[in-house]
Structures are given as structure tokens and as C-alpha cells.
Amino acid sequence: MCGILAVLGCADDTQGKRVRVLELSRRLKHRGPDWSGMHQVGDCYLSHQRLAIIDPASGDQPLYNSFIAARDAIGVTPLYIGWGIDGWISSEMKGLNDDCEHFEIFPPGHLYSSKQGGFKRWYNPPWFSEVIPSVPYDPLALRKAFEKAVIKRLMTDVPFGVLLSGGLDSSLVAAVTVRHLAGTKAAKRWGTKLHSFCVGLEGSPDLKAAKEVANYLGTMHHEFTFTVQDGIDAIEDVIYHTETYDVTTIRASTPMFLMSRKIKSLGVKMVISGEGSDEIFGGYLYFHKAPNKEELHRETCQKIKALHQYDCLRANKATSAWGLEARVPFLDKEFINEAMSIDPEWKMIRPDLGRIEKWVLRKAFDDEEQPFLPKHILYRQKEQFSDGVGYSWIDGLKAHAESNVTDKMMSNAKFIYPHNTPTTKEAYCYRMIFERFFPQNSAILTVPGGPSVACSTAKAVEWDAQWSGNLDPSGRAALGVHLSAYEQEHLPATILTGTSKKPRMIEVAAPGVAIES
């Protein structure tokens, strides 16, 4: 069930209410363009929009009289709950923001029962308490757990592929998929040649690396390019679909949004993606500054718990905008339990011992006899998606914001946006667009805030005070760590200065994305 909207305990059972629920449900149609349905029992309405991945010919969803609303363990799939005269549940915020007095994120790993009322946590793994684990590192066990997670996600009755950036995570997803695809039902129906997809600016690091990995693995590779202007033209659509004003999420969602449109046009309905690895293994470059294993482990726990507001949100909504499903094997519950039980001393970045970020994952797939990947890909430095698509992408976004947000607007930002006040012109630009679509205070509160360096929480500044003046979520903000870090004169300021032009909102145009297969 790819898009749901429920109204529970409805005080109004008129035809007008039914029409309104159907109208709001259509706002979620992009999530499930294959089938839709509405069921009413007494004072409850349940509407769904289905993307048929398993058994496409049977579109109807089974609907029953009592209900349990639950969200997956990590929050891979979005869900919101709202209250007013009625109670509402929706896959996306746009399904309830106009009709609810208050709404919020339905917490991951929880359920809500019509019989008992209230939330109850159903997912409570050992790592959730943040107690420091002590299990010795077993590379073979970790490898087998990930292979099992990938195999689970090969169950499909429709054409599918993998998102391949050429970085470690997506390359491992592709390598394991290639190795296990032949014996699956999907291979019998669609063939054993795996399709891979990559997006980037012309000449970007990801395009080059992805093509090399695709050639090594023998995939049917599809390379999509876009221009900075294509991305800027799509920003409003991206913010509407992702329902966030978080800078990192929007930077990374835009190329993914453009790519998803093209993937769906090729007849593909499901892709496997590599989100979650950096949170589990401490892969972001700011983890180089982790002072000890205890701090590192607690930070990885916090990052996993917050994934539903960042990368999970991006991966799901940027693809679902075009009726494409993204599956994420790194966030398989059993795999997370295996990875998070490892003594975090093994996850510490130790250059003196030859350990770079995510060393335990790299080592698990470093097979001399049957290599999964070339060594230089297996040990490639972490590159954030919004950086890897091309460094000029972020630079172009900043330049665009500079020409659209005045210094005076920035000086008044704390009065106009007292919650999560934008501290850069880029953030201000996104916030303006977001509040045009979602002006409610409840919507504003669904987006987290706080200082960030290279996708960090505030911990990065605690670990290295010199980063406090360089608060940008790009990986290139990790000075002394990223191989292509910002030059000193290009450091992002807390509040950028520039020309005082009137803000202008560019209309969204169809992106001109070129395809090379």
C-alpha cells in the first residue's frame, strides 16, 4: 500500500465528507498510480493509492472493520497523524495539512490501535538503548547479513534496477544484486541483466565512478545528466513532494527527483538504493573527529533514529513523486541488529591502522578470490550524494539564493521565521517555498534544525571547535578530511552577503535530462 489516507472517528458522514476524503486522497496519487479505492465503515474512511509491485493484476487492497496503524521500524516509509474534529492518518503531509488543527510525524517503530488507542512502541532492539556493544567484529557474518537483506528485496513482479552512484554503498548493493539475481523469479521474467542508473552534472565524480562499476559488474547502465538550471527549475516541485526545507535533503533530493522521472519513463517501477550505511557505520566525514568509541556509537544510534527525517524521507518521496518504489537493504532490521552489535572500536577511523570511514563494511566485502568490487572503488572516500553529482551543483544553488535573497531579508529572518531560523540565503530560499505550500505551524515543526557540518548533528562542533565557523552540510565542509574540501576563501558564511535584489520565484519547468544508455 503505497499511499494511504484515513479519517477515523469522523463526526461528519455526509456525501460531502466522502467527496473531501477522495479529493485529499488524490493528492497522494503519485505514490500509487496503479489503483485506488475507498472504504467506509461507520465513522471511519480509508482510502488508498496503490503502486503494484507484487501481483500487479490484483490491485484491490484488503480492508477490514478494525484498524491498526503502524509505521516500519526505521521510518523508511513516511506516515503522518493529525487531529481536529476527526482523526487523520496519511502517507504524506499534503493529505491532511488543510483539514487538521494539529498534525505530526507518526513515530517510526510504533503502532496505533483502534481498540486500545494511543501509541505503542513495537520495535525496541538492543542498540536502541545506546548501551555500548562488545561483540567482536566478524566480517563474514556482516557480509552474509547484508547479502540476505539484498536477496529479500529482489522479490518483485515488475522491472527493477539499482541506483548506482559509484560510491561504496550503492556499488555494494549493485554487486550483491548481480551475484544473486540469476536464481530469482524476477530474473526468469525480466532477464539476468541488471539495470543500473546514475545521475549527475556533466563530468561529475559520480558519473565517472558509476560507469566504471557498471562496466566491472556488467550491468545495463543508464546515465542521466542535468544542468544546474534544470535542478533550480525543479526546486519548487522537489520541496512540494519531499515536504521539507532541510538544506541537505533538498540538495540531494533534486537530482534523485530528476532521475526518478526518467527511470519511471523507461518502464521501471522499483529500484534498490544504498541509504543508511553512513548512519550505521559512522561513514560521514565528521566521524573522523569522534574522540572515542562510546561517542561514536551513541552518535550512530542518534543518526539512525533520525533517518526518517532525512535520507529515508528523500529516498522515499523523491522517487514516489513519480510512482517509483525505492528499497533500502542497509535498513533491514536484521542487518542493522548485526551491524550495531559490533564493538564500535572497530568502527573508529584509525589512519594509523589503515582504517578509513566504514572500514568494517569495506573489509567484509574485500574478497581476494571472488572480488565484489575493484579495490579503489571499495576504498573510495565517502562522497555525499549532493556533492558527488557535481561540485558545481551546490555552488550553483548558493549563487541562485544569493541573487534571490537580500541582506535585509536575512537580517529580518529571525522575526519572520522564529522557529528554525534560516542562517544562510539558500536555507531562506527553501523556507519561503516550503511555507507557501505548508504554512501551518505543525508543518514547520516536522523539519529538524540545528548546526550541521558534513551532514553532522551538533556533535561535529563539539568534537572539533574549529568547524563552528564552517556550518555547511556539504561533505566539502569537512576541512582537513575531504580530499576536495572548500578552499578557505570559499567557506560558507553563517549569513551570506550579496546584492540586494528583489526575490523572485522561478516557475517549475520540465527538466531537460539527457539519457545515455
Superfamily classification of domain 129-382: HUPs (3.40.50.620)
CB distance 335 to 329 below 8 Å: yes
Residues comprising the chain, all counted:
517
Is 199 annotated as a binding-site member? yes
Question: Count of alpha carbons within 13 Å of 61, Cβ hemisphere only?
Answer: 21
In eight-state DSSP terms, residue 196 is E
Distances (CA, A) of 131 to 74, 134, 161, 299, 332: 18, 10, 38, 12, 21
Considering the candidates 2, 44, 312, 455, report the single residue annotated as catalytic: 2
- φ/ψ bin of 42: left (φ > 0), alpha (ψ from -120 to 50), beta (otherwise): left
- Consult the annotation and say whether 273 binds a ligand: yes
Average pLDDT over the chain, rounded to whole?
A: 85
pLDDT of residue 333: 98
Q: Using CA atoms, how far apart are residues 358 and 149, in angstroms rounded to an integer? A: 18
Q: What's the pLDDT at 365?
A: 98
The response to whether 389 counts as a known ligand-binding position is no
Answer yes or no: CATH 3.60.20.10 is held by domain 3-124. yes
**Local confidence pLDDT in tens for the 517 residues of the chain:** 477 877 776 766 667 767 777 777 778 778 766 656 666 766 677 776 655 555 555 545 544 556 789 999 999 999 999 987 778 889 999 998 888 889 999 999 999 987 777 899 999 999 999 999 999 999 999 999 999 999 999 999 889 999 999 999 999 999 999 999 998 888 888 888 999 999 999 999 889 999 999 999 999 999 999 999 999 999 999 999 999 999 999 999 999 999 999 999 999 999 999 999 999 999 998 999 999 999 999 999 999 999 999 999 999 999 999 999 999 999 999 999 999 999 999 999 999 999 999 999 999 999 999 999 999 999 988 665 555 676 899 999 999 999 999 999 999 999 999 999 999 999 999 999 999 999 999 999 999 987 665 566 777 778 887 766 665 655 444 455 555 554 544 444 433 333 333 333 333 333 333 433 3
**CATH 3.60.20.10, the chain: domain bounds:** 3-124
Q: How far apart are CA 243 and CA 308, in angstroms?
A: 12
- Which DSSP symbol is given to 508? P
Nearest to 301 by CA among 127, 117, 41: 127
Q: How far apart are CA 342 and CA 345, in angstroms?
A: 8
Q: Catalytic residue at 2?
A: yes
DSSP H or E segment with residue 82: strand 80-83
517 belongs to an annotated ligand binding site: no
pLDDT of amino acid 241: 97
Helix (H) or strand (E) holding 169: helix 168-181
Start-end of CATH 3.40.50.620 domains in the chain:
129-382
Cell of residue 2, nine digits: 503505497
Cα radius of gyration (the chain)? 23
